């Protein structure tokens, strides 16, 4: 609650700073608009923190999630605040050079950095201020309970996690009856030790009558939570979720399954591609078109059918870097390839041949960052040798990607080379974030400027 109040005061004070310096700069905005800016600031901030559930405090509190939601709420508030000004004042120049705007932004950024550092220090000591802590434990020793224990330990700011109660026990249960007797005894012992919440981790086969155990826990004023242990079914790390009352197990977590994340990625793609087309391709396209046409006959652009999201085929555009009708188009480019034109060597080495794919991004069949699209034949060939090859097609293909900035670009002479690339692509699919996309874009620029030995 204190954090919420202080954040709100900081937001209002930031707006007051803006108004003070805006008056000094003689911004010609009407008084009615200026008088509404503080209420608008409050409303937008309330919307942002409510949408991201910033101040939600559960028994388990994730500091990482709190930090992520803090910055999400902050940037959402900033964007909406500027949109409000643009809509009602149509003063675009203010955004780029206003002293008032820069001072307000500097203050708020400094506040959020300092306040979150202080929050980290305070929450680390908050346990010592609680007279009687909420005590949580686990019963059941297996792979799943060990992972659960690690999660509880990392997020136990408001609880007292005492660990796995039977981790030193060597007992093995061969029947439901043996398991039920042991669990009843464990619930009784946990109650005697003043455990408030008990996670019971066991194989699904042993859980036969949940209602009986829930009633047993209720009588002892103790919350019971059952966690099925699927570690004996699958050795791989999987992801689980809930669909109403159905427990759903998935082979992996995919952030881009979330509609909000897809919207954020699409907005980033549109803004990035429009900026590249307007500020770079507007003059680069005619220049390269002249050089390409001068050195060899044929079209400026080379288009090839590639495999996209959901295994859908699309036309992928590139600046033509090879002579027309020379060799097999499905053959990968090799070092010293005789099919490549002189200007083609330059644009391939600098990755300028990929620039027309920003039109693909604008259309919507590609993304700025993602797994690189392959030719149809290569998709078919590798899918027969690599079991999880098609996972990379769960998302839109990209102009650049994690594999490209980690040295896995270029010709794949062996299946093992492609396996490493696919593993990296799947890692991107599982751990996508907007920050990761921006980082990959910067790394792409750095790799291009340094020169990539696999670019030929």
pLDDT of residue 96: 53
Cβ atoms within 10 A of the Cβ of 135, count? 17
Cα(318)–Cα(315) distance, integer angstroms: 10
**Residue 185, CA atoms < 13 Å, CB-side half-sphere:** 9
pLDDT of residue 211: 86
Domains of the chain as residue ranges with CATH: 2-124 (no CATH), 131-251 (3.40.50.20), 259-450 (no CATH)
Strands 159-164 and 223-228: unpaired
H-helix or E-strand spanning residue 381: helix 376-383
DSSP string for 337-356: -TTB-HHHHHHHHTTGGGTT
Which residues touch 332 (CB under 8 Å, ≥6 apart)?
378, 411, 412
pLDDT of residue 128: 59
Distance between start and end Cα atoms, the chain: 58
pLDDT of residue 328: 52
Closest C-alpha to 430, from 235, 240, 239: 239
Cβ atoms within 10 A of the Cβ of 22, count? 20
Closest C-alpha to 147, from 271, 44, 56, 231: 231
pLDDT of residue 283: 94
Closest C-alpha to 139, from 77, 75, 199: 199
- pLDDT per residue, tens digit, the chain (456 aa), is 678 888 899 999 988 888 887 776 666 666 656 678 888 888 999 998 888 888 776 667 778 888 888 888 888 888 888 787 777 665 555 555 677 778 888 899 999 899 888 888 887 776 656 556 788 899 988 888 888 888 888 877 777 888 898 877 767 777 888 888 888 998 999 988 889 989 998 887 777 778 888 888 888 888 898 888 877 666 566 777 776 677 677 778 899 988 888 999 999 999 999 999 999 999 999 999 999 888 888 889 989 999 999 889 999 999 988 887 655 555 555 555 667 888 888 888 888 989 999 999 999 999 999 999 988 888 888 888 888 889 999 999 999 999 989 888 766 667 788 888 999 999 999 999 998 999 999 999 988 888 766 554
Burial of 165-195, coded b for 16+ CB within 10 Å and e otherwise, reads bbeeeeeebeeeeebbebbeebbeebbeeeb
Closest C-alpha to 420, from 441, 439, 402, 446: 402
pLDDT of residue 372: 92
Which residues touch 412 (CB under 8 Å, ≥6 apart)?
332, 418, 421
pLDDT of residue 332: 56
pLDDT of residue 456: 45
Tokens, residue 395? 């998302």
pLDDT of residue 105: 86
Q: Global pTM? A: 0.65
- Looking at the DSSP assignment, which residues form a beta bridge with residue 246? 243
């Amino acid at each position: 609650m204190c954090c919420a109040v202080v954040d709100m005061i900081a937001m209002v004070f930031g707006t007051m700073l803006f108004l003070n310096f805006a008056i000094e700069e003689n911004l010609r905005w009407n008084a009615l608009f200026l008088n509404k800016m503080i209420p608008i600031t409050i409303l937008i901030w309330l919307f942002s923190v409510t949408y991201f559930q910033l101040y939600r405090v559960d028994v388990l509190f994730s500091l990482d999630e709190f930090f992520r939601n803090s910055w999400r709420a902050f940037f959402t508030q900033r964007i909406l605040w500027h949109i409000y000004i643009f809509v009602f004042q149509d003063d675009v120049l203010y955004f780029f050079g206003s002293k008032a705007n820069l001072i307000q932004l500097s203050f708020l950024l400094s506040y959020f950095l300092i306040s979150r550092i202080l929050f980290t220090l305070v929450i680390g000591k908050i346990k010592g201020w609680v007279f009687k802590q909420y005590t949580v434990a686990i019963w059941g020793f297996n792979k799943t309970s060990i992972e659960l224990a690690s999660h509880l330990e990392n997020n136990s700011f408001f609880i007292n996690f005492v660990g796995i109660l039977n981790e030193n026990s060597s007992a093995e249960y061969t029947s439901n009856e043996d398991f039920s007797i042991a669990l009843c005894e464990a619930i009784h012992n946990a109650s005697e030790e003043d455990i408030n919440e008990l996670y019971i981790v066991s194989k699904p086969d042993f859980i036969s009558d949940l209602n009986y155990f829930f009633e047993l826990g209720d009588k002892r004023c103790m919350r019971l939570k059952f966690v099925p242990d699927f570690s004996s079914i699958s050795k791989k790390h999987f992801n689980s979720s809930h669909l109403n009352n159905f427990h759903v197990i998935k082979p992996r977590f995919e952030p881009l399954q979330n509609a909000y994340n897809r919207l954020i990625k699409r907005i980033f793609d549109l803004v990035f591609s429009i900026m590249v087309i307007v500020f770079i391709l507007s003059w680069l396209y005619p220049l390269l078109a002249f050089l390409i046409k001068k050195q060899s006959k044929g079209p400026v652009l080379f288009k090839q059918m590639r495999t996209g999201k959901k295994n859908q085929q699309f036309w992928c555009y590139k600046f033509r870097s090879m002579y027309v009708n020379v060799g097999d188009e499905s053959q990968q480019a090799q070092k010293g390839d005789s099919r490549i034109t002189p200007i083609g060597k330059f644009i391939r080495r600098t990755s300028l041949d990929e620039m027309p794919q920003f039109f693909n991004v604008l259309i919507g069949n590609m993304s700025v960052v993602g797994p690189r699209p392959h030719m149809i034949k290569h998709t078919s060939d590798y899918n027969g040798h690599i079991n999880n090859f098609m996972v990379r097609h769960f998302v839109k293909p990209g102009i650049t990607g994690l594999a490209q900035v980690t040295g896995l670009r270029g010709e794949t002479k062996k299946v093992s080379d492609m396996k490493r690339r696919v593993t990296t692509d799947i890692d991107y699919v599982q751990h996508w974030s907007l920050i990761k996309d921006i980082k990959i874009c910067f790394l792409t620029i750095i790799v291009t400027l340094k020169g990539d030995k696999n670019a030929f």
